[in-house]
Chain A
Amino acid sequence: MRRALSYGYLVFVYLFLYVPIVVLVVYSFNDTKFSTNWQGFTLSWYGKLLTDGPLMEAFANSLIVAVTSSTIATVLGTLAAFAIYRYRFIGRKISFSFIYVSMMSPDIVMGISLLMFFILVGLSIGATTLLLAHITFCLPFVVVTVYARVSGFDSHIIDSAKDLGATELGMFRHVVMPMLMPAIIAGWLLSFTLSLDDVVVSFFTTGPSFEVLPLKIYSMVRLGIKPEINALSAVMFLVSLVTVTMAHLMIAKENK
């Protein structure tokens, strides 16, 4: 009896979480422009997406930013995590605190702080500032993921590599990085998803010269429901699904 209750509750919550999304995906195939009644199956909305120039451009922009910022954030984040783990340097503890704080901070604070910074420094708000902003908010997630993994290392492994004659770089290249690979890949995947889906920070750090998909969706949604948005959302959801599943499998693999 108790078992049924707990399973039932779990199912209920899962339904609550998923039904809206499932409805969305289903309706992306609905052959109607305005009604919410089912009028038949169609792929036309997906087709319309492909022909929508500005939309596709925004999508492409988002992908480019996501891939670039994830990669740079992963490189920087891995180096930062390792440096904080291994090296004693001035500002080590403060750096880690700042990383942690920026991860916990509401996105809006990061968004406005970067906006002010970019304007003061004289950068024009567009692709460059967007990229810098995305790297900045992805960085803590990579650092935390990689740091959690590296601090679980047997500390003697690094000592051993040095003992056997490796330089710092050699030790990092041949011993540490291979052992960190699952965490590094997971960090990249998480950054990719975060970047692709980001609304708040992008809102403040990019301009009309460089449109990104979430902001485009945002402005489209404000104008009302459109079936193309359904199709687009379904696609975005699928991308998230795949990325997150892969990241999850990566992290699960390294826990073995």
Chain B
Amino acid sequence: MRFRNVAVVLTLVWITLFVAVPYLLVVLFSFLTPNPAGTVTYTFTLESYRQIFSPVFLTVCKSSFTLALGTSALTLLVAYPFAFFLARIPENIRRTLILLMIIPFWTSSLIRTYALIILLKANGIINSFLLSAGWIDEPLGILYTQTAVFIGLVYTLLPFMILPLYASIQKLDMRLIEASRDLGARGWHIFFHIVLPLTMPGIIAGSTMVFLPALGLFYIPDLLGGARSMLMGNFIKDQFLTTGNWPLGSAASVLLTILMFLMLGWYFAVSRRANQGDMKELA
């Protein structure tokens, strides 16, 4: 009895105190009034949400979303064939290759971003190489542009797309593909009607793990995009550490969280269908 109680109480206490309460605070504060002197004034208002839907913020939203969507799309295009080929590699080599793929996943994104800076800056590796090879006359000003931020996001988040995709593709029952070939279906047909629907859960999971961080990782735009780059992550950070407008920052965070729930919901809906649809897809 006592062990059970200790385990349960510890679990409940920690989760309530450090997960549930803080999240609820965010939701709560998004409806309050900012207090320049300190934290918040406990007056109910929808002002923060009105500001969220104002043109100023919507521009920030738009560029963030475009960038995040672009990152998701590109990582998906690069990661899908990668995961597909990897799943076909024989077992013994595959394990080492998977480890090699996981290492960047767990290595500090900050360090990897920093590595990009070395490559991309005006007198960096890439420019030095291109200049000395005579392919360009002037160094490419890649760093401190949205392009650099884009490259940085794709580079950092690629492994986050590969892993869920790989997990999903690996579960694919090769017999389904054989059976459909046996019934006369050709390559593209098999891909669009069988492989793609069944790996949809992996695609959505990967997209979620790329799209949301692409919105929230503020240090990548900060380091690669310079002062000009303002994305959702930077916006939220500013509200808390510069402007001191907690409600506005909370409202933006709530938006981010709602997005996450939508994507999770989409994921669960699709994965249920993919599990049930195994045999039906063949018809």
A196-225 CB contacts (< 8 Å) to partner B: 196-197, 199-200, 203-204, 214, 217-218, 221-222, 225
| Given A114-B22, A200-B219, A24:B118 Cβ within 8 A | yes
Which of A87, A193, A203, A230 sits near B7, CB closer than 8 Å?
A87
Cβ contact within 8 Å between A106 and B260: yes
| Given A83-B8, A104-B208, A116-B39, A229:B114 Cβ within 8 A | yes
A111-128 CB contacts (< 8 Å) to partner B: 112-117, 119-120
B10-25 CB contacts (< 8 Å) to partner A: 10-12, 14-15, 18-23, 25
Cβ contact within 8 Å between A13 and B108: no
A164-200 CB contacts (< 8 Å) to partner B: 167-169, 172, 190, 193-194, 196-197, 199-200
Cβ contact within 8 Å between A241 and B107: yes
Cβ contact within 8 Å between B237 and A190: no
B71-128 CB contacts (< 8 Å) to partner A: 78, 81-82, 85-86, 88-89, 95, 97-104, 106-112, 114-119, 121, 123-125, 128
Q: CB of A80 within 8 A of chain B?
A: yes
Cβ contact within 8 Å between B219 and A99: no
Instruction: Specify which chain B residues have a CB less than 8 angstroms from the CB of A136 in the assembled complex.
Output: 14, 18-19
Report how many A-B pairs have Cβ atoms within 8 Å: 232
Cβ contact within 8 Å between B215 and A23: no
Cβ contact within 8 Å between B119 and A112: no
Instruction: Specify which chain A residues have a CB less than 8 angstroms from the CB of B7 in the assembled complex.
Output: 79-80, 82-83, 87
Instruction: Specify which chain B residues have a CB less than 8 angstroms from the CB of A204 in the assembled complex.
Output: 240-241
Cβ contact within 8 Å between A113 and B26: yes
Q: CB of A63 within 8 A of chain B?
A: no
Pick from B54-62, B191-199, B245-253, B272-280 the stretch touching chain A. B245-253
Cβ contact within 8 Å between A120 and B25: yes
- Residue of chain A at shortest CB distance from B12: A91
How far, in angstroms, from A172 to B8 measured CA to CA in the complex? 14
Shortest beta-carbon distance from A138 to chain B in Å = 11
Which of A6, A168, A200, A243 sits near B217, CB closer than 8 Å?
A200
A64-119 CB contacts (< 8 Å) to partner B: 76, 79-80, 82-84, 87, 89, 91, 95, 98-99, 101-102, 104-110, 112-117, 119
- Residue of chain A at shortest CB distance from B212: A106
Shortest beta-carbon distance from A224 to chain B in Å = 9
Cβ contact within 8 Å between B115 and A6: no
Cβ contact within 8 Å between A23 and B18: no
Shortest beta-carbon distance from B207 to chain A in Å = 12
Number of interface residues of B (CB under 8 A): 83
Shortest beta-carbon distance from A98 to chain B in Å = 5
- Residue of chain B at shortest CB distance from A36: B128
B251-277 CB contacts (< 8 Å) to partner A: 253, 256-257, 260, 264
Cβ contact within 8 Å between B110 and A217: yes
- Residue of chain A at shortest CB distance from B236: A108
Instruction: Specify which chain A residues have a CB less than 8 angstroms from the CB of B4 in the assembled complex.
Output: 83, 87, 168
A125-155 CB contacts (< 8 Å) to partner B: 132, 135-136, 139
Cβ contact within 8 Å between B108 and A197: yes
Instruction: Specify which chain B residues have a CB less than 8 angstroms from the CB of A252 in the assembled complex.
Output: 95
- Residue of chain B at shortest CB distance from A197: B108
Which of B12, B124, B237 sits near A95, CB closer than 8 Å?
B12
Q: List 8 A-B contacts (CB under 8 A).
A: A106-B233, A112-B26, A112-B253, A136-B18, A139-B14, A172-B3, A200-B217, A236-B107
The 9 closest A-B pairs by CB, nearest first: A106-B216, A113-B22, A197-B108, A20-B115, A6-B85, A169-B3, A80-B11, A83-B7, A108-B216
